[in-house]
Amino acid sequence: MINKDRIVEEFMKYVQIDSPTKNEKEFAEFLVKELEDLGFDVYIDNGGEKIGCNTGNVIAKIDGKIQAEPILFSCHMDTVSPSVGVKPIIKDDIIYSDGTTILGGDDKAGIAAVIEALKVIKENNIDHGPIEVVFSVYEEGGLNGAKNLEYDKINSKRAFVLDSGGDPGEIIIQGPAQDKIDVKVLGKPAHAGVAPEEGISAINVASDAISKMNLLRIDDDTTANIGIIEGGSATNIVTPEVNIKAESRSLSDEKLDNQTNHMVETFKNSAKSFDAKVEINVERVYSSFLIDEDDDIVAITKEACEKAGVKPFLNSTGGGSDTNVLNANGIKAVNLGIGERKPHTLEEHMHIKDLVSSAKIVLELIKLSAN
C-alpha cells in the first residue's frame, strides 16, 4: 500500500525546504499543513523559543478509531550544514545531493516515512488507535528541541524514533550518555624571545594533559575525544590561555563517570605541575537508555518489521538521539534504522527501497498497536 512514487516525491520536496538548525520554521509550517490535511490536531510548542530557534517543536495528535494505548512517532526537522539549497539527484534508485550540500536524509527520510504511512492509513480507512507525532527542532548539536518539548502535551508512553543510519529492521535498544567537558587553561604571558622563562605556556599545560589522557576508543562501551583547541595570538607571546572542548560517552554511567573524572583530574594535575590554573565545566548532555530485549515495545517492532518484509535485528549505538531524551522523560522509546547513508557529509545518500521499507514499518506499527 505504500506509494513508492509519492514517498520519493515527498522526500525530494522536503530536502529542498531549507531547515538548518535553529531555522526550521519554513519546514515546520509545511509539515503543519500536511498533518492538518491528514486530520491531525497540530500544535507548535514554545520549546524553540527557549533555545533560540525561529519555531518550536511540532506536536500532532489524532484520536483512534478504536480504543488502544497511544503511540508516538518522532523525528527531527533540522539538518546540519551545509544544507541550504539542496539539489537532490536520483541515480540507480539512490537519492544524492549534487555534492555541494548534504542531502538531509538525516532526518527528513524519517519524516517522509511517517507522513507516507499516515497517508496510507487515511486513504484506506485503516483502523488505528490514538497516534501522536513529534517533529523536533535543534536535535543536531545537543538534542535541545526534545529537551524543551512540552511533555505535558504528550500522552504516549511508547515512542518510535526514526533517526538511525542502520538498515531498516535495525532496532536500537541501547544508547550512551554523554558528558560535555569545557576546559580553560590559564598560564602566564611573557615575551617569548626576551623572557620566556617568566611565562607559563597554557599550550604546554594543555598538551601535557592531553598526552597523558586516555582518548578515542576506551572500551566497547566508552569513547572520549578532544574536539576543539583554541588559544594564542602571536608567536612572540607565551600563550596565557587555552580553551578546550571535549566529550566522553559511554553506555555505562559508571564508566562514563570514571572517564570524565580521569580527564578532569589529568587537566588538574598538569596545571598543578606547571603552576598554572585550570577552570573546568562538565555537563551531562543526555542520559543513557537501555530497553530490555524482551520488552513489549521490542516485540511489536520486531513483528512490524517482519510484516513489512524486513528482517529485524537489535543493536546499540554510540551516538545520541531524541530517543535518549524521550526515555529520560518517562516515554519508552527505541530508535529505528532508516538507512541514512553517510549522514553529515557531502556524500550522504538514501536508497529509495529504504524509504519504502521504513514507511512500511511505520504502517505496520500503527496497525499492530491498534490490537
52 DSSP assignment: T
Active-site option among 139, 170, 322, 348: 139
Q: Using N-to-C axis directions, what is the helix angle for 352-369 and 296-307, rounded to 10°?
A: 130
On average, the pLDDT of the chain sits at: 97
The answer for residues whose C-beta is within 8 angstroms of residue 125's C-beta and 6 or more apart is: none
Summarize the confidence of residues 17-41 as an average pLDDT. 98
Query: Per-residue pLDDT averaged across 113-124, rounded?
Result: 98
CB 367 within 8 A of CB 305: no
Q: What is the pLDDT of residue 63?
A: 96
- Measure CA of the first residue to CA of the last residue in the chain; give whole Å: 20
Rounded CA separation 265/256 (Å): 14
pLDDT of 371 strictly over 90: no
Q: Which of 78, 163, 322, 348 is catalytic?
A: 78
Q: Scanning the structure block, which residue is given the C-alpha cell 509545511?
A: 30
C-alpha 272/C-alpha 313 separation (Å) is: 49
Mean pLDDT confidence for 330-354 = 97
Residue 100 cell numbers, joined: 555541494
Share of the chain above pLDDT 90, in %: 99
The three cell numbers of residue 89 are 539527484
Residue 63 among the catalytic residues: no
State yes or no: is 37 an active-site residue: no
In 3D, which of 3, 6, 11, 86 has the Cα closest to residue 350? Answer: 11
Confidence of residue 65 (pLDDT cuts 50, 70, 90): confident
In the chain, the amino acid numbered 138 is Y
**pLDDT tens column, 303-324:** 999 999 999 999 999 999 999 9
Query: pTM of the predicted model, to two decimals?
Result: 0.93
CATH 3.30.70.360, the chain: domain bounds = 177-286
Q: Which residue has the cell 543510519?
A: 165
CA 225 and chain centroid, separation: 18
Here the cell at position 189 is: 604571558
Report the candidate in 247, 344, 258 with the shortest Cα–Cα distance to residue 286.
247
E-only strand ranges, the chain:
41-44, 58-62, 71-76, 89-91, 94-96, 131-136, 158-164, 170-175, 177-186, 216-217, 222-231, 241-250, 277-286, 289-290, 313-316, 332-337, 349-351
Domain with CATH 3.40.630.10 in the chain: 4-175+288-369
Q: Is 194 exposed, middle or buried (0-12, 13-18, 19+ CB in 10 A)?
A: exposed
pLDDT digit string, tens, across residues 123-152: 999 999 999 999 999 999 899 999 999 999
156-172 per-position pLDDT tens digit: 999 999 999 999 999 99
Give me the percent of the chain exceeding a pLDDT of 70: 100
| Architecture of the domain whose range is 177-286 | 2-Layer Sandwich (3.30)
Class of domain 4-175+288-369: alpha beta
